Structure 1
Amino acid sequence: MFSRTSRTLKYALAGAALAAMSGTAMADVVVTASHGAAARDYPRGTRLRDNQSVTLGSGSVVTVLTDSGTRRWRGPGRFSASQGRQAGGSLNASSNVRAGITRGADSPFPGVWDVVANEDGPFCYATGAAVGIWRPTNQTDQMVTITGPNGQSETVTIGTDFYSVAWPVTVAAVDGAEYRVQLQGEEPVTVRFVELETASENTIDVATALGSQECFSQLQTLADMIDESGDADASSD
């Protein structure tokens, strides 16, 4: 079920992650990072209502993903999703990567639906998303061997100048199953596939689903893809 039509899609996020926003009046946010005492009260993946107030003490910092970028709340103070300076660009119809919009061929970062070949942990996938395998360097050809839960293995090659390749269709994804992924020259890692329980095309819904399954690396990648210019600080009410 996992395939890609061309190498130009190697950093695509697939449709559900960054589809055009519905434009509804209420717009929740999702916590992508929290530090200090806020890490206990607002852990990564927490969804906050648009009109929910968040009170932070001194030393607490919370970064949230909105449907138009990321915001950073730095305590002490009280904050809400609808208040604070926005960091970076905005989401609009041009952000829809169902049509194949990507970071570009030279991007050193994985896409949301790229399995990082040297990173253990859960990996969330969505129906219709083109899943790939990503590596941190593109200097030489490098093989990746994937072994499924039934013992079937498949080896693919990521060519020189490329960071990723399509996940092989011969090693089908099974929700809850573990896969052994070994990048040539490195120790193998274990990746557990988790199917997202959302059919929504809203960025916040997808981010919430990623957070609920503890797919935090993908959640952070989603935030980075939306807002590559970095976070801005917000003052309190």
Structure 2
Amino acid sequence: MLSTNKRLPQAAIAALVGLMIAGTAAAAPLVVRSAGPSAKAYPAGKALPDNAKIVLKAGDSIVLLDGRGTRTLSGPGTFSASGASTVASANAGSTLGALVSGGGERRARIGAVRSASGIDKNAGKNPNVWYVDVTRSTNMCIADPSTVTVWRPGSDAPATIKVSKSDGSSADIALAPGQAAALWPSTLPVTDGSSFKLSWDGAKAPTNVKFVVVKPTSPGLEDMAQSLIKAGCNAQLDLLIQTTSLPGGGNAG
């Protein structure tokens, strides 16, 4: 079991989250996902004016992100980029809290992820945008290579994850029963562009992870999403979209 140190004070995290939400409230809506006949007109990463009218055809679907969270628009119809809701999403605040506590610390401070009863309450869902999901092959964006943490969906049984590089070097990550997260092995340092294969008993196939070191951006959901889109960090973008989804989607006008 890994030792844990003091985390950022909860009051400090709350203050940072408040600043991040406030900083995104006036930002332009950002397209984070698009599909259908009009996808070329609304590519992922495109910022839209608040007063923009979005015209979608049948079969079109786009996801917009702003400081309140994400909204999914489905065609046919004409939609307002700003949407009808003006209330900050509680889910957005929750996600930003995860980003602050997991992505902004200088040293990894992670042990078992458990509830008070010793059972992982969030089994099956990655609790942090910055955690490497060992089951997904993807580009993985990180701000600090020294704080890389791996996470597994199920933690009932012990597991040993083998991390290997193409040069033949490897290291093991031992996970005890009830432990969902652990530090990346220090003997295999992570650098920008480094690639690794993760395997363990029972896995259908090895997982391939390529790391992309991203520079810290100004506080805001849109800036975070832009970094993930440009680097192709799709698993993290998916998690960001899912966790900040606003109820109700968008209304055609």
TM-score, normalized by the shorter chain, greater than 0.5: yes
Q: For residues 51-95 of structure 1, what are the alpha-carbon distances to aligned partners after superposition, in whole Å with 9 as ceiling and x for unaligned?
A: 433221123121222211221222223323322347963545994
State the shift of 1:175 in Å. Answer: 0.5
2:107 match: none
The alpha-carbon distance between structure 1 residues 99 and 211, as it changes in their structure 2 partners (threshold 3 A), is closer
2:97 match: 96
TM-score (structure 1 length as normaliser): 0.77
Equivalent position amino acid for 1:28 in 2: A
1:169 match: 186
Equivalent position amino acid for 1:74 in 2: S
1:131 to 148, 162, 173: 148
2:169 match: 152
Residue 235 (structure 2) pairs with residue 217 (structure 1): yes
Equivalent position amino acid for 2:196 in 1: Y
Q: Which runs of 5+ in 2 are unaligned?
A: 103-112
Give, in whole Å, the separation in 2 of the partners of 1:200 and 1:35. 28
Equivalent position amino acid for 2:160 in 1: M
Larger helix fraction of residues: 2
State the shift of 1:25 in Å. Answer: 6.2
Q: How does 1:1-237 map to 2 (within 5 A)?
A: 5=4, 20-23=20-23, 26-85=26-85, 89=90, 91-92=92-93, 95-97=96-98, 98-99=100-101, 105-107=120-122, 108-110=124-126, 111-127=128-144, 130-148=147-165, 150-186=167-203, 187-227=205-245, 231-237=247-253
Asked if 1 retains the 8 angstrom alpha-carbon contact of 2:142 and 2:214, the reply is: yes
Query: Which has the higher mean CA deviation after the structures are superposed, 49-58 or 112-121?
Result: 49-58
Give, in whole Å, the separation in 1 of the partners of 2:61 and 2:213. 31
Corresponding residue SS for 2:135 = coil
Asked if 2 retains the 8 angstrom alpha-carbon contact of 1:122 and 1:215, the reply is: yes
* Structure of greater relative contact order (alpha carbons < 8 Å, 6+ residues apart): 1
Give, in whole Å, the separation in 2 of the partners of 1:103 and 1:53. 45
Equivalent position amino acid for 1:193 in 2: F
Give, in whole Å, the separation in 2 of the partners of 1:51 and 1:128. 40
CA RMSD of aligned residues (A): 3.6
Asked if 2 retains the 8 angstrom alpha-carbon contact of 1:181 and 1:190, the reply is: yes
The alpha-carbon distance between structure 1 residues 81 and 197, as it changes in their structure 2 partners (threshold 3 A), is farther
TM-score (structure 2 length as normaliser): 0.73
Give, in whole Å, the separation in 2 of the partners of 1:94 and 1:135. 19
Q: For residues 133-180 of structure 1, what are the alpha-carbon distances to aligned partners after superposition, in whole Å with 9 as ceiling and x for unaligned?
A: 122322200111112465432101122223222222332111012111
Larger radius of gyration: 2
Number of residue-to-residue matches in the alignment: 227
Query: Which has the higher mean CA deviation after the structures are superposed, 61-70 or 144-153?
Result: 144-153
State the shift of 1:231 in Å. Answer: 4.5
Give, in whole Å, the separation in 1 of the partners of 2:114 and 2:30. 23
Give, in whole Å, the separation in 2 of the partners of 1:76 and 1:153. 51
Asked if 2 retains the 8 angstrom alpha-carbon contact of 1:210 and 1:216, the reply is: yes
Q: For residues 199-230 of structure 1, what are the alpha-carbon distances to aligned partners after superposition, in whole Å with 9 as ceiling and x for unaligned?
A: 32322101111011111210111122334xx6
Give, in whole Å, the separation in 2 of the partners of 1:93 and 1:70. 13
Corresponding residue SS for 1:204 = helix
Corresponding residue SS for 2:228 = helix
State the shift of 1:129 in Å. Answer: 8.2
Asked if 1 retains the 8 angstrom alpha-carbon contact of 2:29 and 2:82, the reply is: no
Corresponding residue SS for 1:96 = helix
Query: Which has the higher mean CA deviation after the structures are superposed, 136-145 or 86-95?
Result: 86-95
Asked if 2 retains the 8 angstrom alpha-carbon contact of 1:71 and 1:87, the reply is: no
Larger strand fraction of residues: 1
Query: Which has the higher mean CA deviation after the structures are superposed, 111-120 or 206-215?
Result: 111-120
